[in-house]
């Protein structure tokens, strides 16, 4: 017997990365076991499953880039490689016993709020669900942003985005072009440079890049972390405090970033002897305005004999070459697109329809991304977005934010149950007050005053991406679900869903 109507679940979680898995684990612990996690890819792990480009590693220290409830004494290095982080997410999900409710290879086609049933009706590539709550953990950096360059579609060699690395393409002795010099490019170029015949790196804007304090954890350290978890917690607390200490330079006193710039210039001088090349890789904006990158390998790679840094604009891409604005044509075999992601226009927003029939993308097109506490959205009842507007970080671990939001969501779910509530949505007033306060705090920050263009800032000139304060203040704001800031539909007003069978 097959059902023709959606599968009923209490909670539908979209995405099985750090965010979705944390939500699943914590809901499960709270006794909210009727949930399904849908994941568009073939395994859990989110960004750490998808981003497999050579050299992919985390630029946040591993002690902090892990769940507080699942410390990992086995991290091999101060900064973990992609494979290790991916395996960690899988192990944590396995140990917590939530993998049985993860449905892989399943993407959202459309989700719409049904005001009669007070449920989200979610059509996926693999069946439909009717869920009381929709928890979006689809990731802030998941949809590749592809450059619009004249002739790019005419290129006949192999081409792929960093987040869709094609491992079938052997880059040995190839002529490779890389467009973009962000966090992904600076990790992959030093690896590609080792094997390729030639690498042309197309840089539009240089980044501030400081040295990476890289080292492996010793066997004794790992053993100590395993036997005395308090030691690992203390190390973690130390890393956390150090990173939080950087916040004032981002938000109130950008002039303090001069110290970072001095470190960045030293990093350049150490690896690059040619003054002309040094000048071309030195940013002309305040450090921190774009994400500060960490690498000991980028500048030596850029200075290598088989690498050309091209700073002239790309005029055109031809079937087997790139032509720059000076008319110089460089033949290539492989084109790597390292141009980042859709961030302030997340594609998931096009697939979520609120109670007035408008998509989230339509609502956000008016004034940019807005949400209450970065998590709930007026007009979108019972929807919770993890890593929503103004929750990302330029200075610390996003997992701290994710756990803060998940606590709030679990408390919201508990409140709905205990208070006999079918649906909640933040009042417009609460959402506006929150968003306006965050935007007011943004004004003096380095992200708006630092003299750069970055993906943090939207088309309205607002930084709707980052949290502008200390992360513990964010956690305090989300310490308990504040029902008084929400419009409420009592459970008695919801019509129970009916199931028909064929
Ligand atoms: O992308 P990016 P990314 N023509 O947007 C250039 C996270 N991450 O994938 O600066 C030519 O940073 C663009 O130039 P410009 C991290 O949060 C984390 O590298 O806009 N060039 C830029 O150089 C990071 O910030 C880790 O002038 C074009 C580059 O492409 C985020 O992901 C590792 C162009 C894009 O850089 C994104 O990083 C990797 C065009 N049309 C990533 N369009 C960790 O270690 C764009 N560019 C945790």
Taking only the tens place, the pLDDT of each residue in 490-499 is: 988 878 776 5
CA of 340, closest atom in ligand 1: 1
Q: What atom of ligand 1 comes closest to residue 56's alpha carbon?
A: 33
Ligand 1 centroid–CA 141 distance in Å is 10
Strand partners, 210: 294
Segment (H or E) for 265: helix 258-271
Place of tokens 């869903």: 497
407 band by pLDDT with thresholds 50, 70 and 90: very high
* CA 259 to ligand 1 center in whole angstroms: 23
User: Which residues are 159's β-sheet partners?
Assistant: 335
Nearest residue (CA) to ligand 1, atom 43: 339
Q: Can you point out the beta strands (E) in 427-500?
A: 486-490
pLDDT at 501 exceeding the cut of 80: no
Would you state the structure tokens that stand for residue 304, as one six-digit string? 């290598």
423 neighbors 261 (Cβ within 8 angstroms): no
Residue 502 has pLDDT above 50, yes or no: no
Q: Residues 151, 316: contact at Cβ < 8 Å?
A: yes
pLDDT at 431 over 70: yes
Q: How far, in Å, is the centroid of ligand 1 from the Cα of 405?
A: 26
Point out which residues pair with 130 in neighbouring strands. 8, 121
172 burial type by CB count under 10 A (0-12 exposed, 13-18 middle, 19+ buried): exposed
Residue 375 Cα to ligand 1 midpoint, Å, equals 25
Ligand 1 binding residues, C-beta < 6 A: 57-60, 141, 147, 162, 179-185, 202, 204-205, 291, 338-341, 455
pLDDT of residue 4: 60
In whole angstroms, how far apart are CA 377 and each of 68, 195, 353, 404, 426? 27, 48, 12, 17, 6
User: Residue 38: beta bridge partners?
Assistant: 14, 103
| Nearest residue (CA) to ligand 1, atom 44 | 58
Q: Residues in the chain, how many?
A: 502
Q: For residue 292, give every residue at least 6 positions away whose Cβ sits within 8 Å of its Cβ, in sequence order, or none.
A: 207, 208, 209, 210, 260, 394
Which tokens is 224 given? 């100590």
Residue 121 contacts residue 114 (beta carbons within 8 Å): yes
Which mutation among 88, 144, 182 tests ligand 1's pocket best, with the greatest number of atoms within 8 A of CB?
Answer: 182
Q: How far apart are CA 499 and CA 8, in angstroms?
A: 9
Q: Which two tokens stand for residue 379?
A: 């007009």
Q: b vs e for 33-58, b when ≥16 Cβ sit within 10 Å of the residue's Cβ?
A: eebbbbbbbeebbbbbbbbbbbbbbb
Number of helices and strands in the chain (H, E)? 15, 20
Residue 375 has pLDDT above 60, yes or no: yes
CA 184–ligand 1 middle distance (angstroms): 6
Nearest to 115, CA basis, from 404, 354, 420: 354
Instruction: Please calculate the CA angle 283-288-294 and round it to the nearest 5 degrees.
Output: 80
Atom of ligand 1 nearest to the CA of 455: 5
- Residue with the smallest CA separation from ligand 1 atom 13 is 180
User: What pLDDT does 492 receive?
Assistant: 80
**How high is the pLDDT of residue 230?**
96
Domains plus CATH for the chain? 7-143+342-490 (3.50.50.60), 152-337 (3.50.50.60)
For residues 388 and 431, the answer to whether their CB atoms sit within 8 Å is no
Between CA 252 and CA 327 the distance in angstroms is 44
* Structural element, H or E, at residue 441: helix 428-442
- Specify the pairing of strand 119-124 against strand 127-136: antiparallel
CB 20 within 8 A of CB 81: no
ipTM of the complex: 0.99
From ligand 1's centre to the CA of 215, what distance in Å? 25
**Mean pLDDT confidence for 56-76:** 96
Q: How far apart are CA 502 and CA 500, in angstroms?
A: 7
Among 61, 74, 5, 8, CA closest to 36: 8
The pLDDT value given to residue 499: 53
Closest CA to 297 of 216, 187, 201, 207: 187
| pLDDT of 1 higher than 70 | no
**Ligand 1 center to residue 220 CA distance, Å?**
37
Write out pLDDT tens, residues 105-145. 999 999 999 999 999 999 999 999 999 999 999 998 999 99
Look at the block and give the residue holding tokens 């929807």: 383
CA distance 191 to 194: 5
pLDDT band of residue 351 (cuts 50, 70, 90) is: very high
Report the separation in Å between the CA atom of 208 and the middle of ligand 1, taken as the mean of its atom positions.
13
Question: CA–CA separation, 284 vs 326, rounded Å?
Answer: 22
* H or E element in which residue 367 lies: helix 360-367
DSSP assigned state of 390: T
390 CA distance to ligand 1 middle (Å):
19
* Half-sphere exposure (Cβ direction) of 154: Cα atoms closer than 13 Å: 10
% of the chain residues with pLDDT over 70: 98
Tell me the per-residue pLDDT of 459-481, one tens digit each, with 9 for 90 and over. 999 999 999 999 999 999 999 99
| Whole-number Å distance between alpha carbons of 117 and 119 | 5
| Structure confidence by residue, pLDDT tens digits, 241-267 | 999 999 999 999 999 999 999 999 999
Assigned token pair, 268: 């350049």
Report the chain's terminal Cα–Cα distance, integer Å.
6
Our mutation pick for probing the ligand 1 site, out of 85, 180, 341, counting the most ligand atoms within 8 A of Cβ, is 180
Sequence-separated (6 or more) residues with CB below 8 Å from residue 343:
140, 141, 145, 455, 456, 465
Yes or no: say if 61 and 79 are a contact pair by the CB < 8 Å rule. Answer: yes
Query: If you average pLDDT over every residue of the chain, what do you get?
Result: 96
């Amino acid at each position: 017997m097959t059902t023709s109507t959606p599968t009923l679940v209490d909670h539908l979680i979209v995405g099985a990365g750090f965010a979705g898995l944390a939500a699943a684990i914590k809901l499960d612990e709270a006794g909210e076991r009727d949930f399904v996690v849908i994941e568009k890819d073939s395994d859990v792990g989110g960004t750490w499953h998808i981003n497999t480009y050579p050299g992919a590693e985390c630029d946040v220290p591993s002690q902090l880039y892990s769940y507080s409830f699942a410390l990992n004494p086995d991290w091999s290095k101060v900064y973990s490689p992609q494979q290790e982080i991916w395996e960690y997410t899988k192990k944590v999900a396995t140990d917590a016993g939530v993998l049985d409710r993860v449905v892989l290879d399943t993407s959202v086609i459309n989700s719409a709020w049904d005001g009669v049933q007070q449920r989200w009706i979610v059509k996926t590539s693999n069946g439909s669900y009717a869920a009381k709550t929709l928890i979006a953990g689809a990731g802030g950096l998941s949809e590749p942003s592809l450059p619009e360059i004249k002739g790019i579609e005419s290129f006949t060699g192999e081409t792929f985005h960093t987040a869709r690395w094609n491992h079938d393409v052997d880059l040995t002795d190839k002529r490779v072009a890389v467009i973009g010099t962000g966090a992904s490019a600076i990790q992959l170029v030093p690896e590609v440079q080792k094997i390729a015949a030639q690498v042309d790196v197309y840089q539009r804007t240089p980044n501030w890049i400081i040295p990476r304090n890289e080292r492996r954890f010793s066997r004794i350290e790992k053993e100590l972390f395993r036997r005395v978890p308090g030691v690992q917690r203390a190390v973690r607390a130390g890393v956390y405090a150090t990173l939080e200490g950087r916040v004032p330079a981002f938000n109130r006193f950008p002039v303090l970033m001069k110290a970072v710039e001095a470190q960045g210039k030293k990093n350049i001088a150490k690896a690059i002897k040619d003054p002309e090349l040094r000048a071309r890789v030195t940013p002309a904006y305040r450090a921190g305005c774009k994400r500060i990158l960490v690498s000991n390998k980028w500048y030596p790679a850029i200075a290598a004999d088989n690498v050309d840094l091209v700073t002239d604009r790309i005029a055109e891409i031809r079937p087997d070459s790139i032509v720059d604005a000076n008319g110089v044509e460089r033949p290539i075999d492989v084109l790597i697109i390292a141009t980042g992601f859709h961030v302030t226009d997340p594609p998931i927003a096009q697939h979520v329809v609120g109670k007035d029939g408008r998509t989230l993308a339509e609502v956000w097109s008016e004034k940019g991304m807005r949400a209450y506490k970065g998590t709930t959205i007026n007009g979108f009842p019972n929807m919770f977005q993890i890593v929503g507007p103004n929750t990302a970080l330029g200075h610390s671990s996003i997992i701290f934010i994710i756990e803060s939001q998940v606590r709030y969501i679990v408390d919201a779910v508990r409140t709905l149950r205990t208070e006999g509530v079918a649906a909640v949505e933040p009042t417009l007033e609460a959402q506006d007050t929150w968003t306006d306060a965050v935007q007011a705090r943004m004004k003096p920050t380095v992200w708006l005053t630092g003299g750069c263009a970055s993906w943090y800032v939207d088309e309205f000139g607002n930084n709707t991406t980052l949290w502008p304060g200390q992360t513990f203040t964010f956690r305090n704001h989300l310490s308990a679900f504040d029902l008084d800031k929400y419009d409420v539909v009592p459970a008695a007003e919801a019509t129970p869903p009916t199931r028909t069978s064929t």
